[in-house]
Amino acid sequence: MSDIIHLLPEHVANQIAAGEVVQRPASVVKELMENAIDAGATTIRLLVKDAGKTLIQVIDNGRGMSETDARMSFERHATSKITRTEDLFRIVTMGFRGEALASIAAVAQVEMMTRLPERELGTRLEVEGSKLRGIEPHACQAGTSVSVRNIFFNVPARRYFLKSDAIELRHMIDEFERVVLTHPEIEFSMSHNGTEVLNLPKSNLRQRIVHTFGNKYNEKLVPVEESTDIVTVTGFAGKPDASRKTRGEQFFFANGRFIRNAYLHHAVMNAYDQLLPPGHYPLYFLYLQLDPAFIDINIHPTKTEIKFQDERAIYAILNASVKRALGKFSISPSLDFDQEISIRVSPVSSAGPVVPPQIRVNPAYNPFHEQTRPSPAASSGWLDRKSTTEGWKELLSIDPGRTAVAASQPDAPPAALPREIVAMGQVFGRFVLCRWAEGILLLDQHRAHKRVLYEKLLGVLDGGKAASQQLLFPEVVELSAGDAALVAGMTGELQQLGFDLSALGPRSFQIAGIPAEAAGQSAGHLLEELLEQYQNGMASLKFSPRERLLWSLSRTMAIPYQRKLTPSEQTELAVQWVSCTSPQYAESGQRTFLNFTLEEIQALFS
């Protein structure tokens, strides 16, 4: 039998390495910018075309390279950052493995121009698919310029699975932001297709955050500063009233490197205990500075996950630092969790609710009488504190002859949708209690309304345009660069869904109208909440960009929990829900209701 184990060709090995290092155009941005920082640059420019699919160019005024170094930089495991094993345990540079340029050149066409400050001529070098195409002396500025064109040109499957330009650009801006937030002393700029996205002068950290994310962040930040023998914690935590329902701007940096760490995130969340409403997340920009010997960053290809020698101690210090900062600035809960949110249930059409012929609705029916409502102290909380003996008698007075023989399981849809449905009251501020021929339904008001809105919006995108509620005074909103890129890429769909918006600048938009279903909401808040849901709330779900947009907008506009509904609103929601094509589930298979037949209810009393 012949030998079967052999060494892989170099270009194959490079493509394998590239699969770990270069996951999308944003990975190239990260690696090239980190190289520029390690080169001592004080000015770094990022130029992008077609969300990085056509061009990614990083220009810096750093030290530059000699001809030999320029050629060697594209070899695997060639680096100036470390020389021996011990160096891995005291890493102070952004890069150290010597894989970035080799991996990028394996899946793209790369041109490098570089010059040492003391030399009159520099070097121009071209590499394509790991093969050196040419190297020659060249007149260029001091520093280095790296142009990456046609990424994944030789890996068609990887290029095919890249997302839309709006999404890929958003990822690139994310990587750009993570780098600029660690180096406010460096001047950065970024442009896309010739349009400036961000221009960040040298500044202090607070100014860098405000310049990156917008002026509104200035009043949201609380300084954090704590120094111990183990770790120094600096940065900013957000005020509680700046929290969001999904994770937004939450940044950890260790020794100038962006990291992800669920354990440390828990330390921050614990510091906000009793300060945030359930399901809300704070914003924070927290920087940990500690001895490089106490951390290991060589555990993940992207270097965003690290190990701490004494993670428990850092947890405790971080938690105490944030708590002290919030206490020092007299931060206390400022949100009224019981406050009603004025969002109304809108009809499916402007002419009124669409009621299928087979459904009989009795809007006047309500077995729970306001005059018999007990006081909160005497109430058990059931049925929104409105239940009466007469109400329960009416609730259970269902003709057994109209009840299905086979009982439906609570976690499955009924065998057939209700032919008659009557909304009877609200339970716990979350559910609408409905009666139908086979028993009772508990309808999740938020999820049910999401399904109603999703199907309506889907119909709009399939052909038509949603009604728009014009604002008396158009509202101007300033977004972060990433959010602005997303809006720019989705403007057509947003306008079709009822938004009347136009760009005023690279990061500002004027909103003159919003979807009719969202009438009464703040236009700026609605758009920001939509973007937050799109990027965070729906990011882990396997949706197409269009489905992701529709579910995000549906979640944003849906009736919130604890919103009290009038009897007519309850009935209207039930009618719209049962009229849906697929009413049983919201996004990711979430059930919209529970069904209990008369037989099941009677069995509970046996």
Burial (CB count within 10 angstroms: exposed 0-12, middle 13-18, buried 19+), residue 6:
exposed
Q: Are 165 and 24 in contact (CB under 8 A)?
A: no
449: nearest Cα among 372, 529, 517:
517
Q: Is the pTM of this model over 0.75?
A: no
* Tens digits of residue pLDDT in 432-454: 999 887 788 899 999 999 999 99
Report pLDDT for 408.
34
For 53-62, 246-255, 346-355, which range has the lowest pLDDT when averaged over its residues? 346-355
Residue 372 pLDDT > 60: no
Pairing of the two strands 431-436 and 508-515? unpaired
- For the chain, what is the mean pLDDT? 79
Q: Give phi and psi for 98, each to the nearest 5.
A: 75, 30
End-to-end Cα distance, the chain? 75
Handedness of CA 471, 335, 214, 195 (dihedral sign): negative
Residue that has been written with the tokens 């509620």 in this structure: 469
Residue that has been written with the tokens 């950052």 in this structure: 81
How far is the C-alpha of 174 from the C-alpha of 30, rounded, in Å? 10
Instruction: Give 307's pLDDT tier (boundaries 50, 70, 90).
Output: confident
Q: Which helix (H) or strand (E) holds 27?
A: helix 25-38
Average pLDDT over residues 15-27: 75
Task: Please list the residues that pair with 287 across neighbouring strands.
Answer: 234, 253
Residue 516 pLDDT > 50: yes
* Tens digits of residue pLDDT in 171-211: 999 999 999 999 999 999 999 999 899 999 999 999 999 99
* Tens digits of residue pLDDT in 487-513: 888 888 898 888 999 988 888 899 999
Report pLDDT for 539.
67
Instruction: Give 543's pLDDT tier (boundaries 50, 70, 90).
Output: confident
Residue 483 pLDDT > 70: yes
Residue 382 pLDDT > 90: no
Average pLDDT over residues 355-360: 36
For 264-273, 366-375, 460-469, 539-548, which range has the lowest pLDDT when averaged over its residues? 366-375
* Tens digits of residue pLDDT in 31-70: 999 999 989 999 999 999 999 999 999 999 999 999 999 9
Domains, the chain, in order of start with CATH, read 10-202 (3.30.565.10), 211-328 (3.30.230.10), 370-448+564-604 (3.30.1540.20), 465-557 (3.30.1370.100)
What's the 3-state SS for 526-572?
HHHHHHHHHHHHCCCCCCCHHHHHHHHHHHHHCCCCCCCCCHHHHHH
